[in-house]
Amino acid sequence: MTVMLAPLLHVDSSADREASVSRQLGRLFADEWRGGGGTVRYRDVSAEPVPPLREAYARLGRRVERKGVLSLDDIAALVEDADEQREWDLTLPLITEVREARAVLLGVPMYNFGVPATFKAWIDRISFPGAFVDPVTGRKLLADKDFVVVNARGGGYGPGAPREKFEFQESYLRAYLSDKGADRVTFVSQEFTRVGDVPALDGLEDLAAASRATARSRVLELARAIR
């Protein structure tokens, strides 16, 4: 008998549809997950951008915060006008997707040392006050989920690298997810993805190949371990 698993939520954010490394790593993970009988819910925040927050989002958020942690239904009941309704309608489906997933796979390129704006727009929207806290018990709802973040960067940011201190992609997501109560979080980074394109990276072909091989085998290992 095949056991159907709760869905994996797979979010991609690379603007590159042809050669994206984070998309390739994510696909590897998702295919392995499907092969094990799991289902996948997919969201591409580059192809279908999440609209930036508007004033009504902040207004509704403040009203909710004053009351404490509320259920999603109770939040909806606090909506006061059409602008707030629009903001909540844009937000609720994204929050629900995360809450319903057993595991979350995030494909994240490094853009200007951090995460892409399209991905940050998704983060901002799902982070509505109390969205991932049980209003009755206070339990953090992300604590029960596995998060896998597949990062891709053009250069190298590992310990001792000249650009180590410029790394705000993985470190940002580590801080964010930990603050939200997610403690089963694994990062897989493929580095030096622009070797061959950027002359400053000439000579680093072996490092690039090793990083690619390690990232790919780690992704497969994780998909098997988590499913």
Ligand X SMILES: Cc1cc2nc3c(=O)[nH]c(=O)nc-3n(C[C@H](O)[C@H](O)[C@H](O)COP(=O)(O)O)c2cc1C
Q: Which residues bind ligand X (CB under 6 A)?
A: 14, 16, 20-23, 109-113, 152-155, 193-194
- Cβ atoms 185, 144 nearer than 8 A: no
**Residues sharing a CB contact under 8 Å with residue 219, sequence separation 6 or more, in sequence order:** 25, 28, 29, 32, 148, 150, 188
> Closer CB to ligand X, residue 14 or residue 127?
14
Per-residue b or e along 148-186, where b marks 16 or more CB atoms closer than 10 Å to that residue's CB: bbbbbbbbbbeeeeeeeeebebbebbeeebeebebeebe
> Closer CB to ligand X, residue 44 or residue 74?
44
CB of 73 to ligand X, least distance (A): 37
The helix (H) or strand (E) run that includes residue 9 is strand 8-12
CB of 32 to ligand X, least distance (A): 18
CB of 129 to ligand X, least distance (A): 31
CB of 211 to ligand X, least distance (A): 11
> Closer CB to ligand X, residue 23 or residue 227?
23
> Closer CB to ligand X, residue 16 or residue 205?
16
